[in-house]
A = this chain, B = another copy of it.
Amino acid sequence: MTYKKPLCLVIGAGGVGVLTAYSLFKADKSRVALVVRSDYEKCLSTGYNIQSCDYGEIKNWKPDLIYRSVEDAAKSGEFFDYIIVTTKNIPDGPSPVYATIKPVIKSNIKNWPSLNSSCSIVLIQNGIDIEHEVIDLLHREGSAKNKFNLLSGVQMIGSIKVGQCEIKHQSKDSVLIGPFDPNDQEAVKKSHEFVKMYDTPENFVTFDHNVRFSRWKKLMYNATINTMTAIVHLDYSRCLEFGKNTTEAGIIRPAMNEIMAIAKSEGYEIDPETATILIEADRDLVYKPSMLVDVEKTQLMELEVIIGNPLKVAKKNNVATPSLKMLYYLLVIIQGRIKEKQGTLIFDENTARVVQ
């Protein structure tokens, strides 16, 4: 019996997704399928050009399999051992993660190879409590004989799509992978497997037994500095400079303290030094965090997973969060502003009401 490499489906062909797919491809321990929407034709004909700080200049790279959509992947007849989601996570947008992956979940169930088989869903995404909509989906679609593992990934990477099939990768790919549920032994095993499968001499990937803690630590930045820049529509260093005596002490520190308090209510003690490290790290860079970029591009923000969900935990555990709440409520309005500009929300000026 010949060893058959596992098949990975990477969903999300932006800067991050393509790099993730390329790392898997480079490690050469799996076959890599990529869902490529808008760049499909170009990808099929000439492949990707990647300028990577980790891998150098890559010309005309093509993944093993290319699909135009998740639906097409589902129709392919393939069973995907790993479904890796690197899209933005926007439950209040038109494509929540559960809806995005549903076609391949259903096709995988149909194409299930054997009772010993399993499928691992790897969410390499921002935020917290992102697994629940997937768990709900699996409850609706799956059955006892379909063993799905839920893997949680936190990635630090600077990689952007600068043109059709043109990727610019600017800061080292660093990934933490572990089970959403630390007690799920199969998910632990598959996480280790994924780490091996992803590992290249150039990138940095490691098993993390408690990714939830890592997610809280990442929220120290995303729920505070990222949200603030999106609200005031200015890069981070301008925020610090224009509010010389107030931005750090009055916005960032209180918000970070609240994230620490929420994490602590779950038993996670974030080192208070983290706040200072994060505040100082980009002080001298004119850096635009992801939510600010979204606002500038009239794209929906990852609002719920980055700040809405942490506030739900705070409410459940009775943690006071006046700063985060105000940031969140202002962003809820701004998200509506983006939806109206995108045309997915219609406001009637005559009645002063949302009509759709």
Spell out A's residues near B (CB within 8 Å).
228, 231-234, 237-239, 241-244, 246-247, 250-251, 254, 283-286, 322-323, 325-330, 332-337, 339-340, 345, 347, 349, 351-354
Contact = CB atoms under 8 A, between A and B. Distances in A.
A286 B349 contact: yes
B241 A330 contact: no
Contact of A238 (B238, B323, B329, B337): B337
Contact of A330 (B232, B244, B286, B351): B232
Contact of A234 (B284, B328, B333): B333
A234 B231 CA distance: 12
A326 B322 contact: yes
A345 B244 CA distance: 13
Contacts of A233: 334, 337
10 contacts: A228-B333, A231-B232, A232-B334, A238-B336, A241-B336, A242-B337, A246-B328, A246-B332, A284-B351, A285-B352
Given A231-B231, A231-B330, A330-B232, A241 B283 contact: no
For the complex of A and B, list the 7 residue pairs with the smallest distance between their C-beta atoms, beginning with the closest.
A242-B336, A322-B322, A237-B352, A250-B329, A326-B326, A232-B333, A246-B329
A238 B335 CA distance: 12
Given A232-B334, A286-B349, A334-B232, A354 B241 contact: yes
A333 B243 contact: yes
A91 to B, nearest CB: 16
Contact of A283 (B284, B325, B327, B352): B352
A286 to B, nearest CB: 5
A322 to B, nearest CB: 4
Contact of A239 (B326, B327, B333, B335): B333
A337 B329 CA distance: 22
B323 A241 contact: no
Nearest to A332: B243
A107 to B, nearest CB: 37
Contacts of A238: 333, 336-337, 340, 347
A325 B335 CA distance: 22
Contacts of A247: 329, 332-333
A290 to B, nearest CB: 19
A337 B284 contact: no
Given A241-B354, A243-B329, A243-B332, 15 more contacts: A228-B330, A232-B330, A233-B337, A237-B352, A237-B353, A239-B333, A241-B353, A242-B333, A242-B340, A243-B336, A246-B329, A251-B329, A284-B351, A284-B352, A323-B326
